[in-house]
C-alpha cells in the first residue's frame, strides 16, 4: 500500500489535495519510486465514485527520482506539461509535492519535465 495525494470533488480547491491509501504493484525496491508510480496509476472506478480526481494528465510517466541533501528531483515525461489553466497546474504541483514530502527525509521537491528543471518554464498555465 502507498499513500498518494489527490484532489477530492468535495474539497473543490485547486491546490487542496488529500491523502489516499492505494494498493499498487511493488515493482521496485524503492518506496519513493513505487509511491510516485502509484500516484501516476489511473484511479479505479471505485476511487472515482468516491469523488477522488487526479489532475495529472493520463500517460504521464516517471523517468527518474533522485534525492540529494533532502531535495527530491522528480523527472516526468513531457505529457506532464500538456495541460492548461492555473488551477490545474497548482493541483498537479500539489499532488506531486505532497506525495513526495510525506517521506521525512525529503524537505523540498523539484519537478522536472524531460531534462528541463526550470520551475519558471514547466507547469505554467
Report pLDDT digits (tens) over 114-123. Answer: 989 988 888 8
Q: How many CB atoms lie within 10 A of CB 125?
A: 10
DSSP 44: P
Please state whether the predicted TM-score (pTM) of the whole model is above 0.85.
Answer: yes
Report pLDDT digits (tens) over 56-85. Answer: 999 999 999 999 999 999 999 999 988 778
Overall residue count recorded for the chain in this entry: 125
Taking residues 41-69, what's their average pLDDT? Answer: 94
Amino acid at each position: 500500500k502507498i499513500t498518494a495525494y489527490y484532489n477530492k470533488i468535495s474539497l473543490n480547491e485547486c491546490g487542496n489535495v488529500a491523502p489516499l491509501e492505494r494498493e499498487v504493484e511493488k515493482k521496485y525496491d524503492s518506496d519513493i519510486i513505487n509511491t510516485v508510480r502509484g500516484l501516476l496509476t489511473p484511479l479505479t472506478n471505485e476511487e472515482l465514485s468516491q469523488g477522488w480526481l487526479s489532475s495529472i494528465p493520463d500517460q504521464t510517466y516517471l523517468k527518474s527520482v533522485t534525492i540529494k541533501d533532502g531535495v527530491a528531483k522528480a523527472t516526468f515525461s513531457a505529457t506532464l506539461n500538456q495541460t492548461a489553466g492555473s488551477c490545474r497546474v497548482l493541483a498537479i504541483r500539489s499532488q506531486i509535492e505532497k506525495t513526495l514530502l510525506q517521506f521525512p527525509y525529503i524537505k523540498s521537491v523539484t519537478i522536472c519535465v524531460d531534462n528541463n528543471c526550470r520551475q519558471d518554464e514547466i507547469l505554467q498555465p
